[in-house]
Chains A and B, each alone.
Chain A
Amino acid sequence: MAQGSDGNPGVPPQDGDGDLTTRLDRLGRELKRRTDAEATQAEGERNARSDYTGMSQALRLGSEFVAGVVAGAAVGWAFDYVLETKPWGLIVFLLLGFAAGVLNVMRSAGLAAQPGSKR
């Protein structure tokens, strides 16, 4: 993007008058074009390598969310089993489990603070 705005490699250097400022300008543009190209290439390589990292992150966040819901359902079921309040415990704790799952996902994505930390 930055390359398209001012890096203009197609300009023919027809006025080779030896003027220092023009030459410096041309050198700067050429350098910028090269570093931009290198940066773009590195970006592409990083993207190819981070394909797997993306998948592992998806698996991590997915398991966090599912674990929250499952834990909520288990707590609700145990609540009902002990207190015989079928089906209310399951309903309430399943909903809380969804909330806990979202909290887990936000924590593991670094969007919410860890439980122990002070804000």
Chain B
Amino acid sequence: MAAGSTDPIHQFQIVKLVGDGSFAFTNSALYMGITVLATTAFLVLATSSRTLVPGRWQSLAELSYEFVGNTIRQTAGKDGLRFFPLVFSLFMFILVSNLIGLIPYTFTVASHIIVTFALAMTVILTVIIYGVAKHGAGFLKLFVPHGVPLYILPLVSAIEVISFISRPISLSVRLFANMLAGHITLKVFAGFVTMLSASLGAIGLAIGVLPLFLAVCITGLEFLVAFLQAYVFALLTCMYLNDALHPGH
């Protein structure tokens, strides 16, 4: 009975909306589309007036631009600004999809590891392709640290290579785990309220105030997580792009 309404995993179910088979249009795809539309609409509408003294929406758009631009400049240097479109798109996509996922009855795109893994692979493939195209074999200097004796170099290089391979995994797992854990926690605490009142009646409803209060607090925390994870993803993207820009030094 309680499985349908209070099951904390139920919210992550993929539902096929249009079509069938592997290429069906699912709720995940729908929310990705909504995210892209919302981001585009926000930026286009916010910058449509283009006044010298920005209004509320325009300053929000300028703030997001400045924020990402500064992050890139600080971690990857001025050269890194050529990757601004990539980093900004990733940041806005993750941030907006996380914020949309916080609205009740919506779907959180980043709660599926394949989505975050695809985003992480986009970053890593950009790093590899750009690094090899720009530096050729010099990109491999990334795996040869300075000042390591020759007899220990194969071991250290192997560890560096594995460390590099682990980057997309850690990048995707971090975002996925944060979103999944947050939403499950929220659902579990909210589920306590209904379960308590259903089983204990009026006393349960009185005790249920406590988990309700916690659920409200966790919702606030989730807004912080939504922003922080988007920022961390963008920051690490910049750090990895920095490796592609300057591998040997």
Interface residues of A (CB under 8 A from B): 52, 56, 59-60, 63-64, 66-68, 70-72, 74-75, 93, 96-97, 99-101, 103-104, 107, 113-119
Contacts and interface: CB of A to CB of B under 8 A. Distances in A.
B142 A115 contact: yes
Contacts of B173: 63, 66-67
Given A114-B239, A118-B249, A119-B146, A96 B158 contact: yes
Contacts of A117: 249
B107 to A, nearest CB: 22
Nearest to B178: A59
Interface string B157-185: 01111111111011001100110000000
B79 to A, nearest CB: 13
Given A66-B169, A66-B173, 9 more contacts: A63-B177, A67-B169, A68-B166, A71-B166, A96-B158, A97-B162, A100-B162, A115-B160, A119-B147
Nearest to A92: B158
B162 A52 contact: no
A88 to B, nearest CB: 14
A74 B117 CA distance: 16
Q: Summarize B's interface: helix, strand, loop or mixed.
A: helix
A101 B166 contact: yes
A75 B239 CA distance: 24
B145 interface: yes
B221 A52 contact: yes
Given A67-B169, A74-B165, A116 B142 contact: yes
Given A60-B174, A66-B173, A75 B228 contact: no
Contacts of B145: 113, 115
B142 to A, nearest CB: 6
Nearest to B162: A100
A114 B177 CA distance: 25
A111 to B, nearest CB: 14
Contacts of B8: none
A52 B226 CA distance: 13
Nearest to A68: B166
Interface stretch (B9-17, B18-26, B240-248): B240-248
Nearest to B246: A116
Contacts of B165: 71, 74-75
B224 interface: yes
B232 interface: yes
A118 B158 CA distance: 19
Interface string B16-54: 000000000000000000000000000000000000000
B143 interface: yes
A104 B164 CA distance: 9
Contact of B170 (A56, A99, A104, A115): A104
A68 B162 contact: yes
Given A93-B162, A104-B163, A115-B143, A63 B174 contact: yes
A53 to B, nearest CB: 9
Contacts of B162: 68, 71-72, 75, 93, 96-97, 99-100
Given A100-B162, A100-B166, A116 B243 contact: yes
A60 B243 contact: no
A13 B165 CA distance: 69
Contact of A103 (B142, B163, B169): B163
